[in-house]
Structure 1
Amino acid sequence: MKTPIQLQQQNLAELGSRIPVPIYNRMDNKIGIVHVGVGGFHRAHQAYYLHQLRQLGEASNWGICGIGLREADTKLSDILKKQDHLYTLMIKHPDGNIETEVIGSIVDFEMGTTNPEKVIARIANADTKIVSLTITEGGYNFNPTTGKFNFDNPDIQHELRHPQDPKTIYGFLTEALKTRRDSGLPAFTVMSCDNIEHNGDMARKMLLTFAEAQNPDLAKWIAQEVCFPNSMVDRITPVTAKTDIEILAQNYGVADAWPVTCEPFIQWVVEDKFSNGRPAFEKVGVQFVPDVGPYEKMKLRLLNAGHSVLGILGAIHGHLTINACVEDEVFANYLRAFLDEEATPVLGDIEGINLKNYKNSLLERFANPNIKDSVGRICSESSAKLPKFLIPTIHENLAIGRSIKFATLVLAAWCYYSDKETDQNGQALKIIDAMHDELHHTASETKNNPLAFIKHESLFGNLAKSNNFIRIYTSMLEELYKNNKIDKMMQDMI
C-alpha cells in the first residue's frame, strides 16, 4: 500500500508517477466558462471533456469557475478550495477495472449564497464567454405541465424587488447581463446541460420571462444577443461513496476528499449556436448538430425513463441498486418491453443512431456491477423527473392508440411508494422529493378515491380524464394494494 499523497497542485509531479495528472499549466488558464451547479455529473462530463482538450494543448482561455447557489454546495466548495480545485475521476468498467485520472479544468469556485457581488462580477467579466448549467429539472422554476414560469417563488419575488441581491440563476444571469450590456461587452452564451427536452429553449423562455418582469429593455437585448444552444448529455454518475475515497487512497495512493465515479460511456450532442465563441470540443468527441431535439428525446425517453422504470419498481420490490434490478430477469425483460413497445414507437428515426443497438447498450450500462447506482438516487425528485421522462410517452401513446401498460404500472407503483413509504417487504424507504408531503397526502387518499394521486394536473396533465388510462391504472392499483407483489405483476405483463 502506497502512502496517500494529498491531492493539491504542488503535489502533481509526485502524483503523476501514480495516476495521470494534468500536463497543462493550470495557473495560466483564463476563465472562459462559468458553470452553475457543480455536481458529480458536471465533473464527469463537461469538465472532463474540457480537461481532455487542455491535455491536447488546446483551450487555454476556457478554464471553468464553478458557482454554487445553494448552501448545500458549501462542502464541495471548501473541499475543492483545499485541493486547488483538483479532483480525481474514477471510471469504473464492467470487468472491474478502474481508470483514474486527476482533472484540472476547474480553476476556481465561488458561492453565490455568501458573496453574490463576486459571482455577478465573475459572470459579467469580459473573459466569460459561456455560462453553463446543471441545476436539475427543478432549478428552472416552471410548472411541468403548463411550462409557465413560477412567479410565486419567494426568491423570485425577492429578486424582482432587489436585482442586485440575486438568489436564483435568473437573478444572477440578468444582473450579469445588464452589467455586460451597460459596459458595452458582448453577451455570453447560456448553455443548459440538464435533462430537459429542448433545455436551451426552456432556459431562454424562463430567463426572458423573468427579465421582462424585472427589466423589459434588458429582456429585448437578451433576446437579440444571447444564444441558448440545446444540448443532450449522457454519462451515468453515481453518488461518490466512502469506499471510493478509500479505494483511491489504498490502491492508488491519492488522498482526495471528493472524487467522482462514473461509467465508461460518455456522450454530448450540442447545437452549434454560440454568442461569443466556444472551445473546439469536437476534437474530443462532442457532436455538434443543427437540431439536437431528436437526440434529446431519445435519451430522455429511453435512458432517463428507463432509469425511473427500474427505480420506482425496484424500490417497491426491495432492490437497492440499478444493476441489481437488471440482474433480475423479470426487471430486465420488463424494461426491454417498455423500451420496445412504448418508448421507441414515439421517437421516429434519429440520424446516425441505431435504436436497437442503443437500447442494448443501455441494458449493458445499467448492469455494470461496478457502478452500483442507487435506486434511492434514481427515485429522488421523481416529481421533477417523471413528468419529463415518462408521462409524455403515456400521453403520446394514448393519442395514437398504442400500449401504455408498462409505463402506467410505474405510476401505480409511484402512488403506492408515496403512500406506504415502504417496500413490499415492509422496509422503510427514504423518499427525497420537493413534493413529498403533497404526494404522500394524495396517495394516502387512494383507498377512498383511486384517482386522487393522478389528479395533480401539474404532474400528470389530463390523464385522470382518459377512460383508457383510468381503466388500466385503477386495475393495477387494486392488484398492487391487494397483493403487494410488484414482481408478479411485472411477470404477468411480459
Structure 2
Amino acid sequence: MTVKLSSSILAKLPPEVAGPKYDRAALKAGIVHFGVGNFHRSHQAVYLDELFNAGLGHDWALVGAGVFDGEKVGRGKLQEQDWLTTVVEQDSGHMSARVTGAMIDFLMPGDAAAIIERLADPAIKIVSLTITEGGYFIDPASGVFNPTHPDIVADAQPGATPKTVFGIILAGLLRRRDDGIVPFTIMSCDNIPHNGHVTADGVIGLARLIDEKLATWVSENVAFPNGMVDRITPATTDRERGILSSEFGLDDNWPVFCEPFRQWVLEDHFTDGRPALEKVGVQFVSDVAPYELMKIRILNGGHATIAYPAGLMDIHFVHEAMQEPLVRGFLDRLEHDEIIPTVPPVPDTVLEDYYQLIEHRFSNPKIGDTIRRLCLDGSNRQPKFIIPTIAERLKAGKGVAGLALESALWCRYCFGTTDSGAVIEPNDPSWDRLQTTARAAKAAPAAWLAMEDIYGEVGRSTLFVEAFAKALKALWADGARTTLTRYLAGNL
C-alpha cells in the first residue's frame, strides 16, 4: 500500500519518511531560483528545508523559474504534488527519505512577464541559479562572457522580450532600479570556477550591450557571491521511483536520490540580507577560491578521469567503474601525480583526506550514478575541470602524460563507439562537431586539439600535442584496457 505525495498527506506520511516540521502555508517567498533540477532539490532546497525545520527563515521560501519549454515537464510533475520533493539519501548500509517543502511556487518556464513581475517584488532578495556550465554564455577556452552569442544579441535589442536567464534577471533589476527597490543578490549554485564572477560577467555584459549606465549601476549595486557546492545527485529514473515506492510506501513523480554527503561554501556578500544558513552547515567565508579549486580539480576532474575509460569499457554505473582496478588505478595515479599537486593549500583541509573522501563517494554502490552522466557535455566541462590543470602543469614544466591520456579518452569516446563496437548515443550539445573532429583525429590526432575554443594555448603546446597523439594512437591500436595497463606500468 503506497500513498501519493501531496500536501494533504503530510500529516500521515509513511512511518519511515520524515516531513516538514513547519507550516508551509505560513512560508513567504524570498528567493527565485532558475534551474529547478535534481541538484538544486538535493542541495539548496534541503538546506532551506532544514532551516525552516529549525523555526528560522520562513520568509526565504523558494519560487522556481526557468526559460526553456523542456522545464515545463518537471514543473508539471512538482505541481501535481504541491511543489513537494522526496529526497532519498543512500550509502552502504544507509537509506533515509524525507519530504522537503521549501518550494512554494514554480513560475511557468518561458513566461518572461510573470517572472519579471516576481523579480520586481521587494520580498525577493536573492535570485539563485543552477543552469549548468553551458548556461552562462562563456567562451570555453577563455572562460570570458561571449557577447556575440545570438541569444544574448537578441535579448539586447530594443524592446525585446528577454528569453535568456540573464535577460530576464536584468529586466527584473531594471524594474527595481526604476521603482527605487534595493536590488536582489544573484547567487550562482553551479559548478563553475569563480561562479559569482562568471555570473556577474554575464549580467553586466548583457547590460553593457543595452546601456552602459545600466551596466555601471549593476556593477556598483548588485552582489554576486562566489560559492562552492557539492553533492553527487544522479538523474531520476523509474528505478528511483520504484525504490521509493517499494521501500518507503511513497509515490513521488520526481524524487531525488543522492549521497549523504553535502557541502556548501559561500562568500558572505549579499545585497539585501540572507537566510541564516550557517545554522544548518553552510560555511560562510571571505574567499571561496581555495575550496572551489580543490573541488573542481579533485572531484570534477576525478569524475572526468573515470568517465571516459569506463564509457569505452561499457561500464554503466560509477561504482562499477570504481570496482574496475584499471579505472580506479588511473584515477589514483592521475590525481596524485598530476592533479592534486596543482591544488594550493585549503584552510582546515588535508588534501589527501579530501581525495580519500572523494574516492569513497565515487564508490558508493547505492547512489546509482551513471557513467553516461559523467561523460555528458564534455565540451563545456573539460575546459573547466581538466584543461586548466593541463595549462598549469605545462607552465610549470611538469609532465602531462596522464592528463593527455584523459583527453585522448574523451576524444576516443566522442568517436561514437565503445571498444566493443557498441554505439554511443549523442551525449553533448556539440556532439556532431565532436564526432566529426574525433573521426578526423583518428588519423591526425592534432585535429582534436585544434578546437581552439576548447583547448586554446594548451592545444598548441608541443609537449601536450605529442603526449596526446601518443595516447590516442595507443587507444586505437590496443583499446582502453591495454592502454591503461601500460600507463599504470609506466610504459606509456
User: Which interval holds the TM-score relative to the shorter structure?
Assistant: over 0.9
Residue in 1 that maps onto 2:259: 263
Is it true that 1:442 corresponds to 2:437 in the alignment?
Answer: yes
Name the TM-score, length of structure 2 as normaliser: 0.97
Is it true that 1:160 corresponds to 2:143 in the alignment?
Answer: no
Instruction: Give per-residue Cα distances to partners, 1:256-313, cap 9 Å, x unaligned.
Output: 1110000011000000000010000001110000000011000000100100111111
Paired with 2:148 and 2:433, the residues of 1 have a C-alpha distance of 17
Instruction: Give per-residue Cα distances to partners, 1:99-156, cap 9 Å, x unaligned.
Output: 000000011101231x211111111210000000100011000102233333333322
**CA drift at 1:406:** 1.2
The 8 Å contact of residues 35 and 130 in structure 2, kept in 1 or not, is answered as yes
Residue in 1 that maps onto 2:482: 488
Instruction: Give per-residue Cα distances to partners, 1:389-448, cap 9 Å, x unaligned.
Output: 0111111111112221111111111111112x1110111112321111111111111244
Paired with 1:9 and 1:333, the residues of 2 have a C-alpha distance of 48
**CA drift at 1:162:** 4.9
Question: What is the number of equivalent residue pairs in this alignment?
Answer: 488
1:321-470 matched pairs, under 5 angstroms: 321-419=317-415, 421-470=416-465
Instruction: Give per-residue Cα distances to partners, 1:60-85, cap 9 Å, x unaligned.
Output: 10000011211111111001111110
Residue in 2 that maps onto 1:471: 466
Is it true that 1:38 corresponds to 2:33 in the alignment?
Answer: no
Residue in 2 that maps onto 1:91: 89
1:59-458 matched pairs, under 5 angstroms: 59-95=57-93, 97-113=94-110, 115-163=111-159, 165-419=161-415, 421-458=416-453
Letter in 1 for 2:485: Q
Instruction: Give per-residue Cα distances to partners, 1:368-408, cap 9 Å, x unaligned.
Output: 00012111111111100010001111111111122211111
Residue in 2 that maps onto 1:4: 2
Paired with 1:479 and 1:60, the residues of 2 have a C-alpha distance of 58
**CA drift at 1:464:** 3.0
The 8 Å contact of residues 449 and 460 in structure 2, kept in 1 or not, is answered as no
1:71 aligned counterpart, secondary structure: coil
Paired with 2:7 and 2:269, the residues of 1 have a C-alpha distance of 35
Instruction: Give per-residue Cα distances to partners, 1:336-361, cap 9 Å, x unaligned.
Output: 11111111111111111111111001
1:462 aligned counterpart, secondary structure: helix
Paired with 2:480 and 2:115, the residues of 1 have a C-alpha distance of 48
The 8 Å contact of residues 164 and 175 in structure 1, kept in 2 or not, is answered as no
The 8 Å contact of residues 409 and 476 in structure 1, kept in 2 or not, is answered as yes
Paired with 2:341 and 2:227, the residues of 1 have a C-alpha distance of 23
Letter in 2 for 1:68: G
Query: How big is the alpha-carbon RMSD for the aligned residues of Structure 1 and Structure 2?
Result: 1.2
**CA drift at 1:330:** 1.6
Q: Which runs of at least 4 in structure 1 moved beyond 3 Å after TM superposition?
A: none
Paired with 1:7 and 1:318, the residues of 2 have a C-alpha distance of 36
Moved more, 310-319 or 129-138: 310-319
Letter in 2 for 1:490: L
Instruction: Give per-residue Cα distances to partners, 1:224-244, cap 9 Å, x unaligned.
Output: 110000000000001112121
Relative to structure 1, the CA distance from residue 229 to residue 457 in structure 2 (aligned partners, 3 Å threshold; closer, same or farther) is: same
1:248 aligned counterpart, secondary structure: helix
Letter in 1 for 2:103: I
The 8 Å contact of residues 29 and 62 in structure 2, kept in 1 or not, is answered as yes
Letter in 2 for 1:462: E
Relative to structure 1, the CA distance from residue 268 to residue 257 in structure 2 (aligned partners, 3 Å threshold; closer, same or farther) is: same
**CA drift at 1:16:** 5.9
Paired with 2:10 and 2:158, the residues of 1 have a C-alpha distance of 44
Paired with 2:83 and 2:442, the residues of 1 have a C-alpha distance of 52
Moved more, 435-444 or 282-291: 435-444
Paired with 2:436 and 2:227, the residues of 1 have a C-alpha distance of 36
1:445 aligned counterpart, secondary structure: helix
2:428 aligned counterpart, secondary structure: coil
Instruction: Give per-residue Cα distances to partners, 1:175-233, cap 9 Å, x unaligned.
Output: 00000011110011000111111000111112111101112222111111100000000
Relative to structure 1, the CA distance from residue 428 to residue 447 in structure 2 (aligned partners, 3 Å threshold; closer, same or farther) is: closer
The 8 Å contact of residues 376 and 430 in structure 1, kept in 2 or not, is answered as no
Paired with 1:477 and 1:330, the residues of 2 have a C-alpha distance of 17
Paired with 2:18 and 2:60, the residues of 1 have a C-alpha distance of 21
Paired with 1:63 and 1:234, the residues of 2 have a C-alpha distance of 21
Paired with 1:162 and 1:382, the residues of 2 have a C-alpha distance of 35
Paired with 1:460 and 1:313, the residues of 2 have a C-alpha distance of 20
Paired with 2:327 and 2:190, the residues of 1 have a C-alpha distance of 27
2:446 aligned counterpart, secondary structure: coil
The 8 Å contact of residues 61 and 103 in structure 2, kept in 1 or not, is answered as yes
The 8 Å contact of residues 18 and 253 in structure 1, kept in 2 or not, is answered as no
Moved more, 333-342 or 230-239: 333-342
Letter in 1 for 2:423: A
1:446 aligned counterpart, secondary structure: helix
Paired with 1:135 and 1:142, the residues of 2 have a C-alpha distance of 13
